[in-house]
Every structure is written in structure tokens, then in C-alpha cells.
Amino acid sequence: MLEAFVIERLKQNLLTEENLAELVKLTNEEIKQGKSQYREKLLAIDAQLEALKGKLDKLYDALESGMLDLSDLAPRIKEMKSQIDKLENTRADLADGKQR
């Protein structure tokens, strides 16, 4: 009986229309903030990917033009491709909701 009374009093005092409206407002603000942070992370990853792919293209151009030998560029190309793969995996995980 006491438990039922306490629960009823809590409902009356805590679950008011004003409190519920405030809770909805706070929840919406957190969702907006999370969405904004998510977009910022995606944009940062996209910018990094674009920069790395541009550098990789320049290395391929240098290789194709004969300016440098494959033995000179191979380690750097391998490293850049690894960085690109990591960023693409991070982006995919983020898009799938694994890193929010």
C-alpha cells in the first residue's frame, strides 16, 4: 500500500506536463547536437580522404611520367593506401552507426 502511494505521488509530482515537455525539449537538443557532431565527423573524414587521394594521384603521376622509380614510391604508395583504407572503414563504421 505504501509503495503504491509513493509511486502515485511521484507520478503526480514528477510526471507533470511541464516536466515532460522539458524532457522532450532536452532530448531534442541532444539529438540535434549528436547529429551535428556526426556530420562534422563525416565532413572531416571526407576532407582527409580527398587530400590523401589527391596526394596518391600525384605519386602515380610522378611514377607514370618517369620522374621517380617504383622502388622509390612503393613504400609511400602502400602507406597512403593503408591510410585511405582505414579512413574509409572508419567512415563506413560511422555511417553504420558503430562509432557515434
Q: What does each of the 100 residues of the chain score in pLDDT, given as a tens digit?
A: 899 999 888 888 888 889 999 999 999 999 999 999 999 999 999 999 999 999 999 999 999 998 888 888 999 999 999 999 999 999 999 888 765 4
pLDDT on residue 55: 96
**Alpha carbons 25 and 19: distance in angstroms, whole number:** 10
Contact residues for 56 (Cβ-Cβ < 8 A; gap 6+):
77, 80, 81, 84
pLDDT on residue 15: 84
pLDDT on residue 30: 95
